Structure 1
Amino acid sequence: MDVLDIARWQFGIITVYHFLFVPLTIGLTAVVAGLETKWVRSRNPEYLRLTKFFGKLLLINFAIGVVTGIVQEFQFGMNWSDYSRFVGDIFGAPLAVEGLLAFFLESTFLGLWIFGWDKLPRGLHAACMWIVHIGTLFSAWFILAANSWMQHPVGYEYNETTGRAELTDFAAVMFNKVQLVTFPHVIMAAYMTAGVFLIGVAAWLYRSEKHKDDRGMYRKAIRIGAVVTLLSGIGVAVSGDLQGKVMTEVQPMKMAAAEGLYETKDSCAPFSIFTLGTPNGEEEKFAITVPCLLSFLGTGSFDGEVQGIDNLREQYKETYGSDPGAEYYTPEAYVPIIPVTYWSFRFMIGLGVLGAAIGALLLFMTRRDRAPGPWFARLGILSFFAVLGANSFGWIFTEMGRQPWVVFGLMTTEHGVSPGVSTTEAWISLLSLVGLYTILGIIEVGLMIRAVKKGADPFVEPPDPGKDDKDDDAPLTFAY
């Protein structure tokens, strides 16, 4: 393996690892805010207990997510300095705003939420978590805007003297057509992740003999999680359909690679649910297909044309010149690794559908105060890992489907790697970070399991500074 191989593996591992925490954080902030708001309005003790319980799990996930996310930006300078130099003028603005506005908003109001249980009026305290959630949405918007620019560069001009892409239209970058469909898709997936997390945790506690006295409360959490999962799952499907059409417009090679479609279909292009073929994906041996579905996914019409890999390869050669990275990425130029794009696309869809289906099943099983069977806890846990896997495969498809471009049409991945990094240095960096992340993963899982096994704390009526006569100089105290 050369430096490029190692740098790609490192970035892929760390990015996928970090994204395990991101959607859960975004979704849980909304769920915890909703639970606390329900408690403020209803004064039902169960909602307060669930708020504090899932709030504790949110804090564990948030802390580990922040630590793993910091490394992301260091990677740009460590292994991808040429890429950073090329896109720095574009990325600098959204990432700076994300850090100064979104992250500070999240951390400030999360601190107020943690320490303000006995200091802030109840409505204001609940509002703090809603503001944290808004901060996560801002954060996602600016980061996805930067990533969407890599998929569809707009609002820039190329400076031949400096060899850099320079920002000319900040609004164009912020409201990139790819961004407008990617953002709702990612956020809906985050809500779905939080929904199945509620299902999995509450289902396990529901079946635990230790917590049998609280089964009514955990059953309520299961149903809340199932509703969140189903509604957000619909949002994922609708936004994903829109995203597919925009992707076909701006990155037709990615759509062709998602299907392994080598020859252009003038109309009624089929979508294969399952295919067996040669290792490089060029020849089909067996397939189960749905007629005309790919045309609809890509164009919105069952008679729409979907361009094939062979045709697009020739177009790209004429547009972009020689074959950069052809010998490294595939035997052909400008083509991503077909088996990776094909299967990651299907794992994304299949695992997402599985999570939503389990949510619907558990919602049906718990209707009218019915008690589900003993095996349903395993289904709940399975739903969480299915959706978590769908998130990861979605990012793998998004990034691998763009290859060999690191910025589509402007810079290939092999030209973005740091020229001064040796193979030994790259290996040390990769192994060190993988080791560190393994330790963090063990800590995360250990803390989560310990907190889940303990379950929700008994109900304790918190003071209401908005009504109670208290000492104004009383110090803030930690909630847990």
Structure 2
Amino acid sequence: MELDIVALSRLQFALTALYHFLFVPLTLGLSVLLAIMETVYVMTGRPIWRQMTKFWGKLFGINFVLGVATGIVMEFQFGMNWSYYSHYVGDIFGAPLAIEGLMAFFLEATFVGLFFFGWDKLSKVGHLISTWAVALGSNFSALWILIANGWMQNPVGSAFNPETMRMEVADFYAVLFNPVAQAKFVHTVSAGYVTAAIFVLGVSAWYMLKNRYPELAKRSMTVAASFGLAASLSVVVLGDESGYLSTEHQKMKLAAIEAMWETEPAPAAFTLFGFPDQAARETHYAVKIPWVMGLIGTRTLTQEIPGIDELVVRAEERIRRGITAFDALQQIRAAGVVSKVAPEVRSAFEDNGHDLGYALLLKRFVDDPRQASAEDIRKAAWDTVPHVPTLFWSFRVMVGLGFFFIALTSVFFYLSARRRLDRYPGLLRLAVFAIPLPWIAAEFGWIVAEFGRQPWIIEGVLPTAAAVSNLGATTVLFTLLGFALIYTILIVIEMALMVRAIRKGPEPDEEPEAELVPRSLVAAE
């Protein structure tokens, strides 16, 4: 990748997003686990569950603070590094982000203070409500952010206004209930639940191996195994739904994930293993499972899934229609308003305007898409193919880890039901070593979702290369290095605080209201 302004801006956003996403899954999952633990405490009145909630809540707090700090920077980048993107789609993309701040983040940030400082100031039920409010706020925050992101993947409920040169909301209901956004939300949240479950399971397993806080560790492992098993199964099911939606809305991404260069007869096979070669446009040593991809991608045995070669041909056709739309748009801009142009010009734009973004792909090769040669069009069409080996292997690492989490949580769920959590030290060590794996799976999932959309920043509407700010490459490189340094320091700080809190263990928790014998009777005796 050439280190031009586009590449550097992409690299900077990818870096900050990957760093930020190290904190998000654990926040999502731990918030719900805390609410479950405290619910058990309120229902049973047993102090051990209050101690568990406080201990895991401390780790949640460390992660939450750093997640907020790294997330704020990402929103500023839309204005700093992606100003044309903000101008072009700000009316649509900005609305969910504004709602996220006003509705979800304020809810989460308000009640997180009550969670930490309200233990002795609120009633049991009042504090439990605060804990659930934090969990709901965290998950609502993810919902609105993923509605915005889902629109980038599938830009429904919007229309381009040729007079303002901006995308505008045509149907907010369609934006809100975008099927891609809803699928991404439940899949991402479930992945966060898995992350928290494996984290709690692994830390508790370490306590078991060290013979420290066995009662807290056993109960935590039981909750984590149950919660993690349900979440792991959900991730697989909901990931399958995402694959099905990709067949309809992001065909090129799906073809690249499968390294499917040619369209296969229905039902398409799933490539379990292979070595994609983008230069030769083939996959070496491919091991395929018949029918599986057809069932995942189409839910039928009769519908074929188009390959990369066919999709490139379709892209060429859309680029040519986009050139027609671009030419009509220039005439509209010259006239000032749509009503002043000839009817055939308006008709040309209305008929081909949905492919205008494909004409903008030509900006990499010519200043005016109308002057593009057949070779330019061919190159632009092949630019719609993302880097196949990256997507191919990222997807398989993510899926492989997903099935491992199902197996791991199933084993510990069985052991907890049989009350044998302390019988197998080898399994406890495996749980400890598995702690970082959910983050690896989540990061690869992010790569599949976002890198797989390239070259589009908004699928089929705005190429990434056309969305950047007019900055110098040196300026972006300087801030990129600065962010990398600062975020690395933050990661080190978080790891140090987490390890220190885990080594220290839970604080002794005294609960005056839980006394069985009044102090006055003790004094009288």
Match of 1:415 in 2: 466
Cα deviations by residue, 1:391-450 (Å, 9 ceiling, x for unpaired):
11111100111111110111101111112x111101111000000000100110000000
| TM-score, normalised via structure 2 length | 0.84
Residues 81-480 of structure 1 mapped to structure 2, 5 A cutoff: 81-209=83-211, 211=212, 214-278=213-277, 280=279, 282-321=281-320, 324=362, 332-370=382-420, 371-419=422-470, 421-461=471-511, 463=513
Q: Which amino acid aligns with 2:92?
A: I
**Cα distance in 2 for residues equivalent to 1:313 and 1:101:** 42
Deviation at 1:281, TM superposition (A): 7.1
Deviation at 1:286, TM superposition (A): 0.6
Deviation at 1:355, TM superposition (A): 2.2
Match of 1:471 in 2: none
Cα deviations by residue, 1:288-327 (Å, 9 ceiling, x for unpaired):
2211111111001233311101111111221133554589
**Cα distance in 2 for residues equivalent to 1:281 and 1:185:** 34
Gaps of 5+ in 1: 469-480
Q: Which amino acid aligns with 1:377?
A: L
Deviation at 1:123, TM superposition (A): 1.0
Cα deviations by residue, 1:46-86 (Å, 9 ceiling, x for unpaired):
21111100000000000000000000011111211111111
SS at match of 1:372: coil
Deviation at 1:282, TM superposition (A): 1.9
**Cα distance in 1 for residues equivalent to 2:157 and 2:389:** 33
Q: Which amino acid aligns with 1:354?
A: F
User: What's the Cα RMSD here?
Assistant: 2.0
**Cα distance in 2 for residues equivalent to 1:17 and 1:277:** 28
Cα deviations by residue, 1:236-262 (Å, 9 ceiling, x for unpaired):
111111111111101111111110101
Retained in 1: the 8 A contact 2:316–2:381?
Answer: no
**Cα distance in 2 for residues equivalent to 1:246 and 1:162:** 32
**Cα distance in 2 for residues equivalent to 1:344 and 1:331:** 24
Distance 1:224 1:374, change over 3 A: same
Distance 1:64 1:463, change over 3 A: farther
Deviation at 1:87, TM superposition (A): 1.2
**Cα distance in 2 for residues equivalent to 1:281 and 1:99:** 47
Residue 27 (structure 1) aligned with residue 26 (structure 2): no
SS at match of 2:262: coil
Distance 1:445 1:311, change over 3 A: same
Cα deviations by residue, 1:315-349 (Å, 9 ceiling, x for unpaired):
1221133554589x999231111111111111111
SS at match of 1:276: strand
Q: Which amino acid aligns with 1:174?
A: L
Cα deviations by residue, 1:253-293 (Å, 9 ceiling, x for unpaired):
11111101011123021111111243547222212221111
Retained in 2: the 8 A contact 1:354–1:383?
Answer: no
Retained in 1: the 8 A contact 2:270–2:293?
Answer: yes
**Cα distance in 2 for residues equivalent to 1:429 and 1:233:** 38
Greater Cα shift, 55-64 or 275-284: 275-284
**Cα distance in 2 for residues equivalent to 1:47 and 1:5:** 50
Match of 2:59 in 1: 57
Retained in 1: the 8 A contact 2:276–2:388?
Answer: no
SS at match of 2:425: coil
**Cα distance in 2 for residues equivalent to 1:451 and 1:90:** 42
Deviation at 1:95, TM superposition (A): 0.7
Deviation at 1:4, TM superposition (A): 1.1
SS at match of 1:369: coil
Retained in 2: the 8 A contact 1:405–1:413?
Answer: yes
Retained in 2: the 8 A contact 1:359–1:383?
Answer: no
**Cα distance in 2 for residues equivalent to 1:35 and 1:281:** 55
Deviation at 1:356, TM superposition (A): 2.3
Structure with bigger gyration radius: 2
**Cα distance in 1 for residues equivalent to 2:15 and 2:51:** 36
**Cα distance in 2 for residues equivalent to 1:347 and 1:128:** 38
**Cα distance in 1 for residues equivalent to 2:382 and 2:123:** 64
Runs of 4+ that moved beyond 4 A: none
SS at match of 1:342: helix
Gaps of 5+ in 2: 321-358, 366-375, 519-525
Deviation at 1:197, TM superposition (A): 1.1
Q: Which amino acid aligns with 2:7?
A: D
Greater Cα shift, 12-21 or 366-375: 366-375
SS at match of 1:158: strand
Residue 15 (structure 1) aligned with residue 17 (structure 2): yes
**Cα distance in 2 for residues equivalent to 1:130 and 1:201:** 23
SS at match of 1:5: helix
Retained in 2: the 8 A contact 1:281–1:339?
Answer: no
**Cα distance in 1 for residues equivalent to 2:139 and 2:273:** 35
Cα deviations by residue, 1:454-474 (Å, 9 ceiling, x for unpaired):
11122311558xxx9xxxxxx
Greater Cα shift, 112-121 or 355-364: 355-364
**Cα distance in 2 for residues equivalent to 1:44 and 1:346:** 44
Cα deviations by residue, 1:364-407 (Å, 9 ceiling, x for unpaired):
34553322333333311333322211111111100111111110
Deviation at 1:45, TM superposition (A): 2.2
**Cα distance in 2 for residues equivalent to 1:96 and 1:31:** 27
Match of 1:474 in 2: none
SS at match of 1:384: coil
**Cα distance in 1 for residues equivalent to 2:126 and 2:74:** 34
Q: How many aligned residue pairs are there?
A: 461
**Cα distance in 1 for residues equivalent to 2:436 and 2:386:** 27
Deviation at 1:44, TM superposition (A): 1.9
